[in-house]
A and B are shown apart, each in its own frame.
Chain A
Amino acid sequence: MRGEKRFIEGNIAIVEGAIAAGARFYAGYPISPSSEIAEYSARLLPRVGGLYIQMEDEISSMAALLGASVAGKKAYTATSGPGVSLMQENLGLGIMSEIPAVIIDVQRSGPSTGAATKPAQGDLMQARWGAHGDHSIIALSPASVQECFDLTVCAFNLAEKYRTPVYLLADETIGHLRETVTIRELEPDEIVSRKQPAEDVGPEDFRPYRYDGIMPEAMPPFGSDRYLSRTTGSTHDEKGEFRPVPENIHRVTHYLTDKIEKNAEDICMTKGWYLDDAETAFITWGCATRSALGAMEQLRARGEKVGMLQLQTVWPMPEKEIRSVLSSVKTVVVPELNLGQAAGEIRKFNDYGCKVVQANRVDGILISPEQIIRVWKEAEQHGEL
């Protein structure tokens, strides 16, 4: 395993992760604070036999992504909130027709054009429910430049394994943060390649979809000379033929949710600090993790029993790990650069009477350790939720 130590920003580490994971196609429309991903992809992809296309907008970018992916390539795009909004229609197509792709959202302050160069974490719910209709989604969120590399690799692997679009929810703070990172070539067993039909499956027996379990069917490339594939956003059967009858609609809807929710144990990644003896825990994701780590270090130095759970996977929410924290500590503080999007999800699991309080900041500046400590102190002083 060859590793190279570098001092680079998160956006660049994301591109390195994508290339290492085997991505060979990028379509996008540059937007702050994600533009370095487009720029660096344009430089790197041709060197590895890949293709970079700058599209006319984000609608076509997402369409191109799906096209490249059904043709057999690992494909990705990078954008920010305004672009994610435009991608939703085709994202839904990707979910329905089970097309792997990675969408990198470097979050900025919104809604609409908002404050283009300022960090935010306001797209958590957009990622979960931006596409209409019942479905589930996978989203990972890095809190360091190293995680920008590592979780991008995971995003591509999960996209292939579960045949679905996957989000990487980065943010301006982490995307533009420069720090020390190890960029490495991956071992073959660290890369998930697209599943192909088994040798003994004849063209007449092959079905491009399956709905009887919680894992997707193999996906030969579109235009394969052996297998017929169909891609449609309409509710279809195993052959990919339109079949809008009640029992089929029912099973397809359940399947699209179940293949992610029932595999949550495999998909959910978290990191914990001092959770064994913690009386208070910070539950964090993305950039606010860094502020919470700073707050935890200060409080630990004063002898306070504070621990932390970082959600590297934000969708599906790591329910098991969150419940374990809620059931073992007195107070949970959820710092976010939004008005409480993750906090609301965490409260859904709170069957334990744990006090869940929010530390929110939405002025385009990274939340400080001091603000988190202030919220914690207030929660300790006042008994109420």
Chain B
Amino acid sequence: MKMQIVLSGVGGQGLVSTGEMIGEAASIHENVYATLAASYGSETRGTFTKSEVIVSDEPISYPNVDEPDIILCLAQVAYDRYIDTFHDKTMVFYDTELVRPSESARGVHVGYPFKQMGIEMGNAAVANTIALGVIAKRTNILKRSSLEASVSEYFAAKPKVIGINLQALNAGFSLD
């Protein structure tokens, strides 16, 4: 099993955090290998950013992702940049209010208004965690219990936001 995941959007959407939660769930709680290579500009917010995550039961050599099996796009600029890498089985998760998918694009598209759902939940910053729940449910890459543990650990220093992130993860898992 080797899954190549790209989490893409613009700076400030928490995509590195999401990658860390996946990596921690995989390597600490499921005892498989994981890498996370994040690429960012000199600015911290607003420009294109991506996290490339690989989860594998074998040690991982090259940590970059050329053709993702799973991709999350939380901005049009991110979707446009990766559209040419999609193949028929690529799972494409996107925010329906931030990304307009191309009609000719390959891949299995799954769209939800993640940001809007976060706002309704009380914090737009959990859009990434809602998306994580959806991704985990639709692709079975990681167990729910592993992700719950890694979300709680990731926010251990900010206990106030653990609750809303677990709520966001579960909201993602409950989407059809």
**Chain A residues engaging chain B, CB cutoff 8 angstroms:** 5-7, 32, 116-117, 173, 176-180, 290-291, 293-294, 297, 366, 368-369
Please pick, from A179, A294, A297, A368, the residue contacting B36 in the complex, using a CB distance under 8 A: A179
Q: With A and B bound together, what is the CA distance between A167 and B172 in angstroms?
A: 46
Q: With A and B bound together, what is the CA distance between A185 and B40 in angstroms?
A: 33
11 more A-B contacts (CB under 8 A) besides A180-B23, A297-B61?
Answer: A5-B28, A7-B20, A7-B23, A7-B36, A117-B40, A178-B19, A178-B36, A180-B34, A290-B63, A291-B62, A366-B63
B28 touches A7 (CB 8 A): yes
Q: Is B35 an interface residue (CB 8 A)?
A: yes
- CB-based nearest A residue for B22: A7
Please pick, from A5, A32, A116, A179, the residue contacting B35 in the complex, using a CB distance under 8 A: A179
A366 touches B61 (CB 8 A): no
Please pick, from B41, B60, B64, the residue contacting A179 in the complex, using a CB distance under 8 A: B60
Q: Identify the 5 closest CB pairs spanning chains A and B, nearest first.
A: A294-B62, A293-B61, A180-B27, A178-B36, A7-B24
B42 touches A7 (CB 8 A): no
**Please, what's the 1-or-0 string for B20-34, where 1 marks a CB less than 8 Å from any CB in chain A?**
100110111000011
Residues of A within 8 A of B20 (CB): 7, 178
- CB-based nearest A residue for B60: A179
How far does the Cβ of A286 sit from chain B's closest Cβ, in whole Å?
A: 13
Tell whether A179 pairs with B27 under 8 Å between CB atoms, given A290-B61, A293-B62, A368-B62: yes
**Chain B residues engaging chain A, CB cutoff 8 angstroms:** 19-20, 23-24, 26-28, 33-38, 40-42, 60-64, 66
B62 touches A179 (CB 8 A): no
A178 touches B23 (CB 8 A): yes
Q: With A and B bound together, what is the CA distance between A110 and B135 in angstroms?
A: 39
Tell whether A117 pairs with B62 under 8 Å between CB atoms, given A177-B35, A177-B36, A179-B23: no
B33 touches A179 (CB 8 A): yes
How far does the Cβ of A366 sit from chain B's closest Cβ, in whole Å?
A: 6
Tell whether A116 pairs with B42 under 8 Å between CB atoms, given A290-B61, A291-B62: yes
Interface residue SS majority, chain A: mixed
Residues of A within 8 A of B38 (CB): 176, 178
Please pick, from B37, B42, B61, the residue contacting A173 in the complex, using a CB distance under 8 A: B37
A180 touches B62 (CB 8 A): no
- CB-based nearest A residue for B51: A178
B35 touches A178 (CB 8 A): yes
How far does the Cβ of B152 sit from chain A's closest Cβ, in whole Å?
A: 14
- CB-based nearest A residue for B153: A7
Q: With A and B bound together, what is the CA distance between A6 and B36 in angstroms?
A: 13
How far does the Cβ of B84 sit from chain A's closest Cβ, in whole Å?
A: 16
Residues of B within 8 A of A7 (CB): 20, 23-24, 26-28, 34, 36
Q: With A and B bound together, what is the CA distance between A179 and B59 in angstroms?
A: 10
A294 touches B61 (CB 8 A): yes
- CB-based nearest A residue for B39: A117
Q: With A and B bound together, what is the CA distance between A366 and B64 in angstroms?
A: 8
How far does the Cβ of A297 sit from chain B's closest Cβ, in whole Å?
A: 6
Q: With A and B bound together, what is the CA distance between A5 and B27 in angstroms?
A: 8
- CB-based nearest B residue for A369: B62
Q: With A and B bound together, what is the CA distance between A291 and B33 in angstroms?
A: 17
Residues of A within 8 A of B42 (CB): 32, 116-117
Q: With A and B bound together, what is the CA distance between A116 and B41 in angstroms?
A: 9
- CB-based nearest B residue for A9: B36
Q: With A and B bound together, what is the CA distance between A368 and B36 in angstroms?
A: 16
Residues of B within 8 A of A32 (CB): 42
How far does the Cβ of B42 sit from chain A's closest Cβ, in whole Å?
A: 6
A177 touches B41 (CB 8 A): no
Residues of B within 8 A of A173 (CB): 37, 63
A–B complex contacts, Cβ < 8 Å, 13 sampled: A5-B28, A116-B42, A177-B37, A178-B19, A178-B35, A178-B36, A178-B37, A179-B35, A179-B60, A180-B23, A290-B63, A294-B61, A294-B62
Identify the interface centre among B38, B40, B61: most chain A CB within 10 Å of its CB: B61
Q: With A and B bound together, what is the CA distance between A294 and B2 in angstroms?
A: 14
Q: With A and B bound together, what is the CA distance between A293 and B62 in angstroms?
A: 7
How far does the Cβ of A372 sit from chain B's closest Cβ, in whole Å?
A: 10
Residues of B within 8 A of A178 (CB): 19-20, 23, 35-38
Residues of B within 8 A of A294 (CB): 61-62
How far does the Cβ of A13 sit from chain B's closest Cβ, in whole Å?
A: 13
How far does the Cβ of A146 sit from chain B's closest Cβ, in whole Å?
A: 10
A290 touches B62 (CB 8 A): yes
Q: With A and B bound together, what is the CA distance between A7 and B38 in angstroms?
A: 14
Residues of A within 8 A of B62 (CB): 290-291, 293-294, 368-369
Residues of B within 8 A of A176 (CB): 37-38
How far does the Cβ of A32 sit from chain B's closest Cβ, in whole Å?
A: 8
Q: With A and B bound together, what is the CA distance between A208 and B41 in angstroms?
A: 49
Q: With A and B bound together, what is the CA distance between A297 and B59 in angstroms?
A: 12
Q: With A and B bound together, what is the CA distance between A6 and B63 in angstroms?
A: 17
Residues of A within 8 A of B37 (CB): 173, 176-178
Residues of A within 8 A of B36 (CB): 7, 177-179
